[in-house]
C-alpha cells in the first residue's frame, strides 16, 4: 500500500514538474498560432469563412503581438487524388493573406498542414451518432494530430478556431494574446463552457460532465504536461467505444470518470462491438490538478447551435462559436406587432398585463379575448399600452386567432396562464435585403408530435389543406401576418363545415398551398439545430386559484419539458431568493449547480440531450441529437373548436360572429415532469433512525387504511372523485389538464358534452369535490 501511494505521489509530482518546466509562452508569444481545421465536405466554405475578418480585423494598424502563424489544417493527405480541392482552397486563403490592406499583416505566414487521416477513417456523420461508433472519428483524430503536428512545428499555444467561430469585435487577435498573457496559472486549456440558454429549462437533469465541459474551440497549451495526458488518453480510446463521443465532451467525461468512477452510458450495440478503455492512472492521480488547469475565458463565448441576437451576448466576448446570430425585430422595417391574449376570466391576465411595462418587448397593443365582460377597466390600468378587451359572446376560444380585431401588420398569441419575460427578442433575418420573421418548427413525424393527439390533429387538419405538410409550428411561438390571417380564416370558413383546427401549422399549410409567395414572408428553422427559447413564461402554480394545486414538488412544468421551477421566475430577486441562477444577458432564471447537494455527478450520456448545442462546423462537433421531446405543442385552447364563417370583405380585421358548431379540442401544452434532486451525505445513525421512523409511520398508515376500508361501500363511493368521463363528472386530473393545458389529459374533456368552457369545468369540479 505504501509503495502504491509513493508511486501515485511521484506520478503527480512528475506531471506537475513537466507542466512547470515547460512554462507558458514568452511575453511576446512568438510561438502562438491560429489553427483552422477543414475537411473535404466543407472545403468549399474555407475561403468565405474569412470574410468576417475584413469586417472585424484581427489586429490594429500594426502587426499582432508576436505575429502568430495561421495554420489551415486539412484532415486528409495532400497526396490523395482529391487533395487538389484542398490545395486550391488553401491557395485562395493565401491570396487573401497577401492583400496589401487585408488582415494578412496580423500573421507572419499562412501554412497549409495535412494530418493524413485516411478517407475511410475521416468520418463525421451526425445522423449516425446513435448507430455508428465512428460517427465522429474524423474530428477526434484531427484534433489529436493537429496538436502533435503543431508541437513539431515549434508552436507553444494554439487557438483551434473552427469556421463557425466568428469574430464580433475588431482587434480580436490582440485581445486573445492579451488574455493569454494575463492568465494567473499555466493553463492546459482556456476556453468557454456552453453559454446559451437552450438547456436552461432542463438544466438540473444534465450530467456535470456536459455542463462543465469546455468547447473544443479553445486555446491549447502545448507546453503543459496535463494537456498531453488528456491527448494520450484520447489516442488510447481511438479503437474503443469511448471514441463515439466528441473529444471536447469526452475530456470532461474522462475527468469525471477519474474522480468519481462514473462511466458514461453507451448504446448496447456499441458495447457489444467495441471494448471499453480505462482512464490512465496518471490522470486519476492528477485529476484535481488537471481540473485546475482548465480555465474559462470571458473573451470566447460558446453558443453552439443557439439562435441569438447581439443583446444576449456578453460584453467581453470578441469571438463566439456556433451562434446563429439573428437581428432583433425592427418595427420601422417590419411594422408594428400586437399580442392576442386568450383569457378565461380566472383573473390570470392581470399578471401578464402588469409585466408589460417592466419588460422589453416589441408589442404596440394588446387584445384580450375573454368570456368576462366586467373587469376590463381594472386590468386596462395595469399597463400604459393600449389594451382592447373583446368578449367571445360564447364563441370558442379556439377561434381567437381568427376573431381578434388586429390593427397592426403582425400579431402573436399567448394565453393568460403565461407571463412576460423580462427580455423578449423576436428574431428576424435579412434575406436579399428583406427581413423575415424567424420561426421554429419540428418535423410532423417527430415523437414530440406523434405522442400527443392535439398535435396530430393539427397535422391531420393541415394536411387537409396541403397534403405535403411535414412540419408543425407552435401557435404561441409564431408571428402571424394579419392580412394573411384574414385570407386563411376566410378560406377555412368557406371550405370546411366542421372539424376546423385553427393553428400556426394549418396557417402555414394554407400559405404553402394557396399563397406560394409566402416564401418571402418567413424563415423557418428546425428546433433540433437552432434550439428553442420560450417567448412567454408559465405562471407558477401559486398564482393559479386554489384548490387547483397542480404545481407539485418536482416543479411546475412549462412548455419546454422542464421540471425546474427556476425557469418560472421573471425577476432577479425572486430567482436568487429561490437559490437559482439569474442570467443577466438573457434576463432569465435557471437552476444553479452551485446550490446542488449531490455528492457526485450523475451518469453521463454518451450523446447530448434534446436541444443540446452542436457544432455547425464539420471538424470538432459538440454533441448533437435530434430532439425526442420537443416543446412544439400549442398551449391555448380550453374549449371545443368550431367551424367559422367568412369575414366580411369590408371589415377585414373585425371579429367573426357567425354561428359556429363545436368540434373536439385541439390546442394544449406539452408537459413532461423531469425532476432530479440531490442527496446530502448523512451519518449512518441518522439513516437508521430515519428508517425506523418511516417504518412506524408506514405501519400506522396501513392500519388507518384497513379501518377506512371497513366503512360502507356506498360511503366510499360517495367520497370518490370519478375518473370516468362518461359519467359526466370532472376529476382532479382533468381539471389540472384544463388549467395547465396538458395534451394527453385534455383529450378526456371530450367526454363532457355539457361542458364547454373552463369556467363550467371549474364549477363542476368544485361542486363534485365538495369545495
Task: Judge whether residue 94 has pLDDT over 50.
Answer: yes
Task: Judge whether residue 480 has pLDDT over 70.
Answer: yes
Task: Judge whether residue 372 has pLDDT over 90.
Answer: no
Instruction: Indicate the fold that domain 2-325 takes in CATH.
Output: Spore Coat Polysaccharide Biosynthesis Protein SpsA; Chain A (3.90.550)
Is pLDDT larger for residue 759 or for residue 135? Answer: 135
Give the model confidence (pLDDT) of 653-683 as tens digits: 443 333 322 222 333 333 233 233 333 333 3
Alpha carbon of 641 to those of 8, 398, 518, 529: distances in Å? 70, 5, 26, 33
Beta bridge partners of 265: 605
Give the model confidence (pLDDT) of 433-471 as tens digits: 889 999 999 999 999 899 999 999 999 999 999 999 999
Sign of the alpha-carbon dihedral angle for 470, 474, 480, 485: positive
CA–CA separation, 687 vs 621, rounded Å? 44
Section 530-546 average pLDDT = 71
217-221, 320-324, 355-359, 696-700: range with lowest mean pLDDT: 696-700
Alpha carbon of 324 to those of 158, 482, 532, 648, 670: distances in Å? 25, 27, 12, 42, 26
* pLDDT value of residue 649: 35
* pLDDT value of residue 448: 87
* pLDDT value of residue 296: 98
Is pLDDT larger for residue 612 or for residue 58? Answer: 58
pLDDT band at 594 (very low <50, low <70, confident <90, very high): confident
Give the model confidence (pLDDT) of 23-69 as tens digits: 333 344 559 999 999 999 999 999 999 999 999 999 997 666 778 99
* pLDDT value of residue 377: 75
Beta bridge partners of 37: 73
Task: Judge whether residue 562 has pLDDT over 90.
Answer: no
* pLDDT value of residue 699: 61
27-41, 199-213, 251-265, 337-351: range with lowest mean pLDDT: 27-41
* pLDDT value of residue 398: 86
* pLDDT value of residue 519: 65
* pLDDT value of residue 700: 65
b/e for 744-758, b at 16 or more Cβ within 10 A? Answer: ebbbbbeebeebbbb
* pLDDT value of residue 353: 95
pLDDT band at 719 (very low <50, low <70, confident <90, very high): very low
pLDDT band at 564 (very low <50, low <70, confident <90, very high): low
DSSP state, residue 241: G
* Mean of the per-residue pLDDT values of the chain: 77
This prediction has a pTM of 0.74
Task: Judge whether residue 91 has pLDDT over 60.
Answer: yes
CB 738 within 8 A of CB 761: yes
Give the model confidence (pLDDT) of 60-76 as tens digits: 976 667 789 999 999 99
CB 620 within 8 A of CB 435: no
Task: Judge whether residue 358 has pLDDT over 50.
Answer: yes
Give the model confidence (pLDDT) of 157-172 as tens digits: 999 999 999 999 999 9
Cα(first)–Cα(last) distance of the chain, in Å? 69
pLDDT band at 532 (very low <50, low <70, confident <90, very high): confident
Alpha carbon of 303 to those of 48, 196, 355, 614, 695: distances in Å? 21, 5, 28, 9, 49
CA–CA separation, 502 vs 399, rounded Å? 7
CA–CA separation, 472 vs 49, rounded Å? 33
* pLDDT value of residue 703: 57
* pLDDT value of residue 30: 57
* pLDDT value of residue 99: 87
Task: Judge whether residue 545 has pLDDT over 60.
Answer: no
pLDDT band at 610 (very low <50, low <70, confident <90, very high): very low
Amino acid at each position: 500500500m505504501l509503495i502504491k501511494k509513493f508511486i501515485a505521489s511521484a506520478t503527480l509530482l512528475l506531471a506537475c514538474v513537466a507542466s512547470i518546466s515547460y512554462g507558458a509562452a514568452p511575453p511576446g508569444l512568438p510561438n502562438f498560432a491560429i489553427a483552422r481545421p477543414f475537411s473535404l465536405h466543407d472545403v468549399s466554405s474555407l475561403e468565405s469563412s474569412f470574410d468576417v475578418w475584413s469586417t472585424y480585423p484581427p489586429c490594429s494598424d500594426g502587426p499582432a503581438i508576436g505575429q502568430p502563424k495561421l495554420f489551415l489544417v486539412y484532415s486528409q493527405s495532400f497526396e490523395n487524388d482529391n487533395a487538389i480541392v484542398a490545395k486550391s482552397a488553401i491557395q485562395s486563403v493565401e491570396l487573401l493573406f497577401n492583400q496589401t490592406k487585408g488582415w494578412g499583416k496580423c500573421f507572419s505566414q499562412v501554412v497549409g498542414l495535412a494530418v493524413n487521416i485516411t478517407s475511410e477513417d475521416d468520418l463525421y456523420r451526425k445522423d449516425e451518432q446513435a448507430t455508428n461508433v465512428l460517427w465522429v472519428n474524423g474530428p477526434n483524430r484531427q484534433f489529436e494530430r493537429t496538436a502533435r503536428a503543431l508541437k513539431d512545428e515549434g508552436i507553444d499555444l494554439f487557438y483551434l478556431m473552427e469556421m463557425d467561430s466568428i469574430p464580433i469585435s475588431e482587434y480580436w487577435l490582440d485581445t486573445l494574446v492579451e488574455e493569454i498573457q494575463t492568465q494567473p496559472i499555466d493553463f492546459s486549456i482556456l476556453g468557454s463552457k456552453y453559454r446559451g440558454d437552450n438547456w436552461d429549462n432542463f438544466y438540473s437533469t444534465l450530467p456535470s460532465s456536459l455542463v462543465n465541459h469546455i468547447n473544443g474551440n479553445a486555446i491549447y497549451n502545448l507546453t503543459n504536461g496535463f494537456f498531453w495526458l488528456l491527448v494520450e488518453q484520447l489516442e488510447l480510446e481511438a479503437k474503443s467505444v469511448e471514441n463515439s463521443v466528441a473529444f471536447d465532451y469526452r475530456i470532461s467525461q474522462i475527468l469525471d470518470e477519474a474522480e468519481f468512477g462514473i462511466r458514461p452510458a453507451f448504446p448496447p450495440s456499441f458495447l457489444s462491438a467495441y471494448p471499453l478503455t480505462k482512464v490512465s492512472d496518471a490522470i486519476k492521480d492528477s485529476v484535481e490538478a488537471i481540473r485546475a488547469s482548465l480555465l474559462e475565458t470571458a473573451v470566447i463565448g460558446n453558443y453552439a447551435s443557439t439562435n441569438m441576437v447581439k443583446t444576449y451576448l456578453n460584453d467581453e466576448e470578441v469571438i463566439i462559436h456556433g451562434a446563429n446570430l439573428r437581428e432583433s425585430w425592427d418595427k420601422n422595417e417590419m411594422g408594428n406587432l400586437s399580442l392576442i391574449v386568450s383569457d378565461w376570466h380566472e383573473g390570470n391576465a392581470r399578471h401578464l398585463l402588469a409585466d408589460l411595462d417592466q419588460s422589453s418587448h416589441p408589442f404596440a397593443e394588446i387584445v384580450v379575448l375573454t368570456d368576462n365582460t366586467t373587469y376590463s377597466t381594472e386590468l386596462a390600468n395595469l399597463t400604459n399600452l393600449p389594451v382592447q378587451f373583446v368578449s367571445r359572446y360564447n364563441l370558442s376560444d379556439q377561434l381567437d386567432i381568427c376573431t381578434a380585431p388586429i390593427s397592426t401588420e403582425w400579431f402573436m398569441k399567448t394565453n393568460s396562464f403565461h407571463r412576460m419575460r423580462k427580455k423578449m427578442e423576436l428574431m428576424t433575418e435579412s434575406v436579399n435585403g428583406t427581413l423575415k420573421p424567424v420561426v421554429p418548427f419540428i418535423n410532423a413525424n417527430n415523437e414530440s408530435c406523434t405522442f400527443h393527439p392535439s398535435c396530430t390533429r393539427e397535422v391531420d387538419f393541415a394536411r387537409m389543406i396541403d397534403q405535403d405538410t411535414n412540419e408543425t409550428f407552435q401557435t404561441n411561438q409564431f408571428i402571424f401576418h394579419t392580412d394573411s390571417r384574414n385570407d386563411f380564416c376566410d378560406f377555412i370558413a368557406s371550405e370546411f363545415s366542421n372539424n376546423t383546427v385553427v393553428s400556426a401549422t394549418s396557417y402555414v399549410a394554407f400559405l404553402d398551398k394557396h399563397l406560394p409567395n409566402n416564401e418571402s414572408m418567413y424563415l423557418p428553422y428546425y428546433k433540433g439545430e437552432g434550439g428553442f427559447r420560450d417567448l412567454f413564461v408559465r405562471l407558477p402554480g401559486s398564482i393559479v386559484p386554489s384548490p387547483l394545486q397542480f404545481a407539485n414538488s418536482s416543479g411546475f412544468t412549462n412548455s419546454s419539458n422542464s421540471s425546474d421551477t427556476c425557469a418560472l421566475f421573471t425577476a432577479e430577486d425572486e430567482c436568487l431568493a429561490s437559490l437559482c441562477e439569474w442570467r443577466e444577458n438573457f434576463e432569465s432564471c435557471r437552476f444553479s449547480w452551485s446550490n446542488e447537494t449531490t455528492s457526485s455527478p450523475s451518469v453521463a450520456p454518451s450523446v447530448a440531450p434534446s436541444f443540446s448545442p452542436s457544432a455547425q462546423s464539420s471538424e470538432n462537433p459538440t454533441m448533437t441529437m435530434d430532439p425526442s421531446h420537443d416543446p412544439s405543442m400549442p398551449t391555448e385552447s380550453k374549449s371545443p373548436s368550431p367551424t367559422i364563417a367568412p369575414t366580411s370583405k369590408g371589415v377585414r380585421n373585425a371579429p367573426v360572429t357567425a354561428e359556429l358548431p363545436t368540434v373536439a379540442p385541439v390546442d394544449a401544452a406539452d408537459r413532461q415532469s423531469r425532476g432530479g434532486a440531490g442527496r446530502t451525505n448523512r451519518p449512518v445513525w441518522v439513516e437508521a433512525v430515519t428508517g425506523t421512523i418511516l417504518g412506524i409511520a408506514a405501519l400506522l398508515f396501513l392500519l388507518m387504511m384497513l379501518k377506512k376500508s371497513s366503512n360502507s361501500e356506498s360511503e366510499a363511493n360517495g367520497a370518490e372523485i370519478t375518473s370516468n368521463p362518461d359519467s359526466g363528472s370532472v376529476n382532479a386530473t382533468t381539471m389540472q389538464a384544463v388549467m395547465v393545458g396538458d395534451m394527453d389529459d385534455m383529450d378526456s374533456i371530450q367526454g363532457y358534452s355539457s361542458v364547454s368552457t373552463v369556467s363550467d369545468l371549474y364549477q363542476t369540479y368544485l361542486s363534485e369535490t365538495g369545495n
